[in-house]
Structure 1
Amino acid sequence: MGTLVQEMILESAEVDLEVVGAGMKRGRTILIPKVLIIQNFPTMLPNSVANTSDISRWTHLRGVELPELQSNSIEILIGQDVPQALVPLELESGDTGALQSAAHSLEDKRVLRLWSETGIKTNGHYQFPIPFRNEKTELPNNKAVAERRRDGLRRRLSKDTRLRQGYVEEINKLVAEGYAESVPKCQLESDTGLVWYLPHHPVLNPNKPNKVRIVFDCAAKHKRTLLNDQVLQGPDFNNKLLGVLFRFRQGTTAIMADVEAMYHQIHVAPEHRDALRFLWWENGDLSREPVTYRMKVHIFGGVWSPSCATYALRRTFQDHRSEFPDMVAQAEVNFYVDDLLMSLDSSNKASMLACQLRRLLACGGFRLTKWASNHKGVLATIPPEERQSALKEIDLRQDKLPMERALGVRWLLEACAKEIISAQLHTFCDASQAAYGAVTYLRMVDWRKYPVLFRVRTGQAGPTQATDNAKAGTLCSCPRVNADRTIRREMTMTIHESYFWTDSMLVLQYIANSSRRFQTFVANKIAVIQELSRTDQWRHVCTSLNPADDATRGLPVLDLIAGSQWIRGPDFLLSVEERWPKGKELSAVLNDLLEVKREVHHIRTADLRLKLKRLNTEELQSAEQTIIRLVQKEAFEKEIQTVIKGELPKDNKLYKLEPYLDERTLL
């Protein structure tokens, strides 16, 4: 018997079964022929079956109860070869977003089940255990490692008074806020197997010179053991960054906020807190003996912490969404880790949403702060101490709004949004045998019919797996149509049309072809392109106007920063459509090179009677030379004229090749 993970030899018998579904009102019998009988199923089989906790995060499935299975309670597995047994008796449909959740691994499901079953709320905050890989984890005593790192930290802090002051303040804050506590003397010699000492160090941000962040090193190794390896990472609950930024730019009124100390708002189960011990000097006095502390909350540096924090945030929305309007509950998709970025159609809605979101997140022990908005009316409804630091002292009646950063993107608050009447996606592709690149721009036209461009997605890779430029161009074009679909799905605004631009006529002919059979590599890519896009959406653009050419040929950093096409987009997209490149007409794709040569020969001789004649070698060679001559004339017309008159200038791209015209007048 073969499975995904192993092959085994088992004794088996074959029988035919008649099965009746449990709870079926009609008692319909299903015949299942050729059923194999084995002694036992694998013990891990129940972990592959969904249970009630797995589906509880979807509101439309909360009323569905699934049985809890044990390995010895599973008696039959029915495969896809018995479709009549798999017909659903009832269908519960949710919204589109619910169906787009990423599939979870078995480890992810295990973490979800752990947090769902053991998570509680205490003192207004959620409390979850650390998801250790093994239930009976035994950690070695690594206190010596923590002591060595402590001594190094002491020397560093002794030399830097400013760093020491910031470090002491942060540790004192952890203790004062209840995020950390000293370990009672009676528990110092605890031998539960879950005791681990975390070295810690400062991390400084150049953009925040006065801020010291303390990071606990969960990757510190002792006897081939490190804490992060003993813990499951947990599912990735983050919304897609691309979608968050897209939706942030859509409405006329935008708001931004930050969840204060997000990780520290989720408590650690008491039985796991000794795995988060650390050493520190009381009151920051480096001359005294260090004291043993332990964290009571999940920490920055733990491999499981990002998943735990986003799970707690989602759990807050799940547990309290019924208490708030739908618009507030839907804000869940506009968080990226601890950052909220959202836009709405009016300032009144934005003000209401900001107020309601503060209340909703407070139900889970979270506090939204560092608010910013491009509308002064919205800012006026937010207390000054809750705003971004640059907005706390501002006079909303006369001062201009400053520039802020939103997930690394500069946001000029004073720039007001316009009413959009048209939105298009323009994707440019380019490829070579060395690399391929693509870039997508969002072209929006406001009510004044002024077009505006935003670079929304880029991609670059290399070298390609293709063996020629045609395959490389097709390989580049295929993922771009998928990217277009992803962008459309993430944006809630209406995209009126999508266009795909390439400077390869061969790729365009491949896409336009509907009769020729291609090699498997090209055929599979073209099938995807033709399924997800229309032929009339594909346009030709000359190489000089193709911004994706910067990705495949490379560009000096200074030229990129100075405002390359890659950054600003092609200038013609800022004009009306009538001024866009017309490109070349797509002629029917000829079957092969022989057919091309035959057509050229007929054109040269102007003898239609030869249409069915088989060409000899000399005629084929003559046709081939004509093709090369025509291509060279189109690509190197100036160079050919210069070579006829004399030598090429040294700055010409063909100079190093020492070109000349042979007796056939070919370059």
Structure 2
Amino acid sequence: MKSSVKHTDGHFYLPLPWRSDVTLPKDSRHMAERRLWSLKKRFSRDVFLKDKYVQKMQDYIDEGYAEEVANEEAEDDSGKTQWYLPHHPVCHPRKPEKVFVVAGGDLSRTPTVHRMLVYIFGATSSPSSATFCLRETAEQFGKMFDEDVGDIVRNDFYVDDCLTSAETVERATELVTQLRALLKKGGFRLTKWLSNDQRVLDQIPEAERAKSLTDVNLDASVKERVLGVYWRAQNGEFGFSITDTMQGKKFTRRNILCAVNTLYDPLGFAAPVTLIAKVLQQEIVRQKLGWDDELPKDDIEEWRRWLSQLPELEKLTLPRCFKPPTFGSVAKCEMHHFSDASTQGYGIVSYTFVWNMLMEKSTARFYLANRRLAEIHRQTSPDQWRHVNSQLNPAGVEDSASSRVPAS
């Protein structure tokens, strides 16, 4: 990537990272056309989805993300690397008004070939390529700004989300200004800003703020999703918002996996809860059920019980900051780690323990937790055992030999 990246007209240009050891199928156009006709049947049953999808495709063309390819170039068989993209719509349950084109006209016309001019949503290489260009922005232009601004770009981004903090309102405001200016040089536009201080938000245009701040000032109702959990900005707390994703669905291995994965919890706030789900999933694996086989009645009751308890997580809140607002400067900090295990799984949890400069105040805060399932050990039954006589058994010979060696 480093040798091929170019910066032109305010944007980075990076070739697709083709793997040299992979031979692409020659019938990719046929596969893409089959997917297109399958989509046409689906859209005949869902006009709303069709309209959203066609508009999204047209937006790609209007915004310069895709261009039509001339027939003679599309039919060129000179050996150039070509890959036709099968594409399909994905609707996010929390963003019903949006339709995402994954790996991707008007379906009433004969299909025409278009070329994507940007990295596509859903491609395996897209996140790493975007992250590379983000970091390259810091490398090429970071020296034009304060040193910690480049460090934030390098260390405080998770894909396209920037999560950082500042000691004062003045510094936070300055960071916003410099981050926007630095990222703009790389062709990136930072939006959906949210802060726990209204004075910082007042320095940001309303159109650039988080959607939860539309027509309202910062209050207790404002919350935004951050890495799977919700950040209640005014209170400075993390929490959960639970959605019943199994409503009206059968209890199959596939649907349960989707339901469990909606509880994204990278810091382990809900580790004891998600471990129970992992144990139940392991039991499904033991039963060797198919992805779309309905679970036995007893297992369904176990899952219903687990799902019914999930809303209790909304009562759980954890402070974002490791020290209270009036705590003062930190003089001493310790990490305390605890672990435990059982036959079903094991876990670890870590806490920070800090003292202020006068050593008169101390506080403990949750840091992170993790859990793992115990491995499935399949025991053999006695009818699988076979006797090996001592003359042929190396372990037996070793045992016999050792019994004749006198202790010294």
Do they fold alike, i.e. is TM over 0.5? Answer: yes
TM-superposed CA distance for 1:445, in Å, is 6.5
Aligned pair in 2 of structure 1 residues 415, 445: CA closer, same or farther (>3 Å)?
farther
In 1, Cα distance between equivalents of 2:226 and 2:344: 35
- Alpha-carbon shift at residue 175 of structure 1 (Å): 1.0
Q: Report what 1:460 is aligned to.
A: 372
| Aligned mate of 2:102, from 204, 215, 219 | 215
SS at match of 2:128: helix
Shift of 1:383: 0.3
Output the amino acid matched with 1:127. Answer: Y
Q: Aligned residue for 1:653?
A: none
* Aligned mates of 1:141, 1:428 — CA distance in 2: 55
Q: Secondary structure at the match of 1:322?
A: helix
TM-score by length of 1: 0.40
- Selected match of 1:203 from 86, 90, 104: 90
Q: Which of 402, 405, 420 is the matching residue for 2:222?
A: 402
Q: Is the 8 A contact 1:179 1:295 kept in 2?
A: yes
- Correspondence for 1:16: none
TM-score in terms of structure 2 length: 0.64
Paired residue for 2:110, among 280, 289, 298? 289
Pair 381,289 (structure 1): closer, same or farther in 2 beyond 3 Å: same
Provide Cα deviations, 1:570-608, integer angstroms capped at 9, x if missing partner.
xxxxxxxxxxxxxxxxxxxxxxxxxxxxxxxxxxxxxxx
Q: Secondary structure of the residue that 2:369 maps to in structure 1?
A: strand
Structure 1 residue 432, shift from structure 2 partner: 4.1
Q: Could you say which residue in structure 1 is the equivalent of 2:43?
A: 157
What's 2:143 paired with?
Answer: 322
Match of 1:166 in 2: 52
CA RMSD of aligned residues (A): 2.5
The higher radius of gyration belongs to 1
Distance verdict in 2 for CA 1:386–1:434, change over 3 Å: closer
Q: Paired residue for 1:436? A: 346
CA distance in 2, matches of 1:401, 1:353: 26
In the TM superposition, residue 172 of structure 1 has moved relative to its aligned partner by 1.5
Structure 2 stretches of 5 or more lacking a match?
Answer: 237-323, 378-408
CA distance in 1, matches of 2:70, 2:85: 18
1:377 alignment partner, one of 195, 199, 208:
199
Q: Which runs of 5+ in 1 are unaligned?
A: 1-114, 217-277, 466-667
Matched positions, count:
283
In 1, the alpha carbon distance for the partners of 2:220 and 2:22 equals: 59
Instruction: Say which SS state the counterpart of residue 415 (structure 1) adopts.
Output: coil
| Equivalent position of 1:355 in the other structure | 177
The 2-side partners of 1:463 and 1:141 are apart by 42
Seen in structure 2, the aligned counterparts of structure 1 residues 445 and 291 have a Cα distance that, compared at 3 Å, is farther
Q: Deviations over 1:432-463 (max 9, x none)?
A: 45543222233457899474532512233414
Once the two structures are overlaid, the 10-residue window that deviates more, 329-338 or 116-125, is 116-125
Is the CA contact 2:120–2:126 (under 8 Å) kept in the aligned structure 1? yes
Q: Distance in 2 between matches of 1:323 and 1:444?
A: 36
What amino acid is the match of 1:459? R
SS state of the match for residue 371, structure 1? Answer: coil
**Residue 177 (structure 1) shift:** 1.1
1:454 maps to a residue whose letter is F
Identity of aligned residues (%): 39
SS at match of 1:154: helix
The equivalent position to 1:368 in structure 2, one of 155, 180, 190, is 190
Paired residue secondary structure (2:81): coil
User: Which one of the candidate residues 122, 143, 158 is aligned to 2:29?
Assistant: 143
1:303 alignment partner in structure 2: 124
Q: Deviations over 1:41-65 (max 9, x none)?
A: xxxxxxxxxxxxxxxxxxxxxxxxx
Is contact 1:119–1:128 with CA below 8 Å preserved after alignment? yes
User: Secondary structure, in 3 states, of the residue corresponding to 1:117?
Assistant: coil
Mapped to 2, the partners of 1:342 and 1:206 lie a distance apart of: 28
Deviation at 1:319, TM superposition (A): 0.2
Provide the rounded CA distance (Å) in 2 between the counterparts of 1:432 and 1:137. 47
Secondary structure in 2 matching 1:116: coil
- In 2, the alpha carbon distance for the partners of 1:364 and 1:446 equals 41
